[in-house]
C-alpha cells in the first residue's frame, strides 16, 4: 500500500505554516523510505470537525459491515 497524502486536522491542523513548513522540511531532510519522501502533508479541509467526521464515518462503516454479516 502506498500512502500519498497525510491529512492533519483539528487544532493541530489550524497551526498552518508554523507547523507545516518545518514538518515538510524535516520529511525532506530525514525521510529515507521512498513513500515518505513522496508524502504530501495538508491540513484537513473540515478543520476542527475532521476528527468527528472521521469517527462518524468509521462507526457507519462498522455498522454497515456488521449488518451485512448478520
- DSSP letters along the chain, please? ----EEEE-HHHHTTTHHHHHHHHHHHHHH--SHHHHT-EEEE-TTGGGHHHHHHHHHHHHHHHHHHHH-
pLDDT band at 70 (very low <50, low <70, confident <90, very high): very low
State how many domains the chain has. Answer: 1
**68 vs 17 pLDDT, higher one:** 17
pLDDT at position 67: 53
Domain residue limits at 38: 5-69
Q: Which residue, among 9, 15, 5, has the nearest Cα to 48 in the 3D structure?
A: 9
Could you report the per-residue pLDDT of 6-45, keeping only the tens digit for each? 888 878 888 889 999 999 899 888 888 777 778 888 988 8
Q: Is the dihedral of CA 30, 33, 24, 22 positive or negative?
A: negative
Amino acid at each position: 500500500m502506498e500512502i500519498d497524502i497525510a491529512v492533519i486536522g483539528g487544532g493541530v491542523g489550524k497551526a498552518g505554516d508554523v507547523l507545516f513548513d518545518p514538518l515538510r522540511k524535516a520529511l525532506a531532510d530525514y525521510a529515507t523510505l521512498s513513500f515518505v519522501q513522496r508524502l504530501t502533508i495538508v491540513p484537513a479541509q473540515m478543520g476542527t470537525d475532521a476528527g468527528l467526521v472521521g469517527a462518524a464515518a468509521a462507526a457507519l462503516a462498522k455498522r454497515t459491515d456488521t449488518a451485512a454479516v448478520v
